Chain A
Amino acid sequence: MHTKSLKRILHRRGKVGMKRRRSKVGSFFMFLGIFLLAAFMAFPLYYTVIQSLKPIDEIFRFPPTLYVNRPTMDNYGEMFRILANMWVPLSRYLFNTLMIAVLGTGLHVILAGMAAYPLAKHKFPGKDLIFAIIMLGLMFVPQVTFVPSFIIISKLGLLNTYWAQLLPTIGVSLGLFLMRQFMEQLPDAMMEAAKIDGATEFRVCFQIVFPSVKPAIVTVIIFQFINLWNLSGGDVVYNEELKTLTQAMSQISAANAYARYGPSMAAAVIMMLPPILIFVLLQRQVIETMTSAGIKG
């Protein structure tokens, strides 16, 4: 339903867009501006890749170059060698990060999705209040609440466990908000029909609502996965074998910045790849979801 209306809009854009008035000079300057901005955005990423491919003599060449003469994968080999010789094997860090990212994403999507459905479609007492509080929660980001969170995690006896990193990520607001806004657009008739056939709300939620909001679910998965992939958890976890890949990678560059320029750039490239790939592959769903994600002023 939703996909169709979006397609129609995209289709019509092609026809109608042509007729709209566009001055050539204006277009030129606007695209010049975009080009300069794009260059600013891309440059640090480009330089990371270039540096990671340079052999050691080119890394320290003066003046520094913006291209690579003899590209090599040495830095990547060196990076994996450093990681292999760390006290805790690389596979453990990778496992930690993946476990937190997969479990945290999965639980958040399912639980927030279950809560989003009644908040979007039912008219129970207290609905507006609950939603308003959850929206307020958008502002209670970790940067603001890490001190009281630390106290709570410590009082619950969760310090220095996987749970300390995992549990707080399940109850964030953003995913619920995105899914709820998307669900609000579903036609009521869809759910009514199932209820007349005797389906419980639980079944309606899982068998009718969830399959109809796939773009929103995919979007929340992307945002949450990227967040958790970048999670470092430094405040609540101290054992080396509980640390995440992000922490391990940052240790490479922090330990000896000069001698390890090459490997730390290689590490940066490796860490950047998963979030970028996920977004490139699933971008369409994200944009479709964001069309419904507005706040009425």
Chain B
Amino acid sequence: MNNGLLQQMKKYRESYLLMLPYLLFFTVFTLVPVIVAVVISFTEYNMLTPARFVFLDNYIRMFLEDNVFLTAMSNMVRIAVIIGPVSYILCFFIAWVINDLNRTGRSILTTLFYVPAVVGGASWAVWRLLLSGDQYGLVNNFLMSLGIIFEPIAWTTEESAILPVIIIVQLWMSMGISFLSFIAGMQTVDQSLYEAGMIDGIRNRFQELWYVTLPSMLPQLVFGAVMQIISAFTVADVSVQLCGLPSTNYAGETIVTHIMDYGTIRYEFGYACAMSVVLVLLMQLSRALVTKVLSKVGS
């Protein structure tokens, strides 16, 4: 038996050789960091003095002693619960509607919706300008000229405005890879299924969507969901770039910005790693949950 396995492995020697270089990089720079994070999360470590084993202290501190972590957690959950589904549905809705267009219209709209996701850091300057706290800020100017508000709002520093601002800007840049995957998924649907559906008595486009389109593109739906979960749980740049690190009274703190705080400013690596571990677990959990929900589609 064991001999058989070895022989199998020997037979596929070349396969392993082909994978080796990539796996080396993957292991050192993607996998090992996660293992290191788990190990360090049980210690107190700042790279200058040797690590001190503290077992669960970091985790206990997170949930029982660090109020800012709880703020970060509740912000992140709020952001993820809004951005995840809203962006996912928007991506799907847009892909669905523009799928009926001709090729030129489809390319133009695909580009328009996708571009904000790739311009990344180049867009912070214009958002700062749009959301500027004085009347030169276009958002303030517009709302005041309509008489909706009567004095300018400091969108990026006013505590109650921070979270909505982060969510809106993040939504703007969230039509990324899942959007492309939905557009592609729509094109793979076997057209004869639509004809068959019409014969079976599908009456409108929504029935067609539920009974034909969605089940046919389930793999893309799952892939898109995984990608959306990853980006919704790791929102940080928007908060740091627009509202600062830390933001006013931590109103824009997310788990990732909290990790930045402890990892790159305070050098408390043990605590920062413990938070990373919790974040990865949360992401895995919601991935399992969403995959389960999606398996019900079309039934």
How far does the alpha carbon of A130 sit from the alpha carbon of B283 in the complex, in Å? 20
Interface of chain A, helix or strand or loop or mixed? Answer: helix
Task: Output the nearest chain B residue to A47 by Cβ-Cβ distance.
Answer: B126
Which residue in chain A gives the minimum CB-CB distance to B40? Answer: A148
Which residues of B (119-145) have their CB < 8 Å from a CB of A? Answer: 119-130, 135-136, 138, 141, 145
**A170 and B29 within 8 A (CB):** yes
A263, closest chain B residue (CB)? B125
Q: Are B191 and A9 in contact (CB under 8 A)?
A: yes
Which residue of B has the minimal Cβ distance to A230?
A: B120
Contacts of A264 in B (CB 8 A): 125
* Contact A171 to B30, CB < 8 A, known contacts A41-B112, A287-B180: yes
Interface residues of B, count at CB 8 A:
110
In the bound complex, do residue A41 and residue B181 qualify as a contact, i.e. CB atoms below 8 Å apart? no
Report the minimal beta-carbon distance from A105 to chain B, rounded to whole angstroms.
14
Chain B residues with CB below 8 A from A168, complex form: 29-30
Question: Does A144 interact with chain B (Cβ within 8 Å)?
Answer: yes
Residues from chain B with Cβ under 8 Å of A55 in the complex: none
The answer to whether A125 touches B5 (Cβ under 8 A) is: yes
User: In the complex, are the beta carbons of B18 and A115 less than 8 A apart?
Assistant: yes
Contacts of B221 in A (CB 8 A): 294, 297
Chain A interface extent, by class: 35 or more
**Residue B149 CB within 8 A of the other chain:** no
Q: Which A-chain residue is minimally distant from B256 (CB atoms)? A: A143
Taking CB atoms, residues of chain B closer than 8 Å to A117 are 18
Instruction: Write the chain A residue with the least CB distance to B235.
Output: A143
Measured between alpha carbons, how far is A144 from B280 in the docked complex, in Å? Answer: 7
Contact for A144 among B93, B194, B218, B276, CB less than 8 A: B276
Does B110 sit within 8 A of A, measured CB to CB?
yes
Q: In chain A, residues 99-151, which have Cβ atoms closer than 8 Å to a Cβ of chain B?
A: 111-112, 114-115, 117-119, 122-125, 130, 133-134, 137-141, 143-151
Chain B positions 205 through 219: 1 when the CB is less than 8 Å from some CB of chain A, otherwise 0: 100100000000111
Bound together, the chains give a CA A275 to CA B219 distance in angstroms of 27
Closest 4 CB pairs of A and B: A294-B219, A171-B25, A290-B184, A124-B12
A sample of 22 cross-chain residue pairs with beta-carbon separation below 8 angstroms, ordered by A number, consists of A44-B126, A45-B126, A48-B122, A60-B136, A62-B135, A118-B16, A124-B12, A125-B5, A137-B26, A139-B226, A139-B230, A140-B34, A146-B264, A151-B36, A152-B29, A168-B29, A250-B124, A253-B125, A265-B126, A290-B177, A293-B184, A295-B223
New contact pairs (15) apart from A230-B122, A290-B185, CB-CB < 8 Å: A9-B191, A40-B172, A45-B123, A63-B135, A130-B19, A144-B259, A148-B40, A152-B36, A168-B29, A173-B26, A272-B123, A290-B183, A290-B220, A293-B220, A294-B181
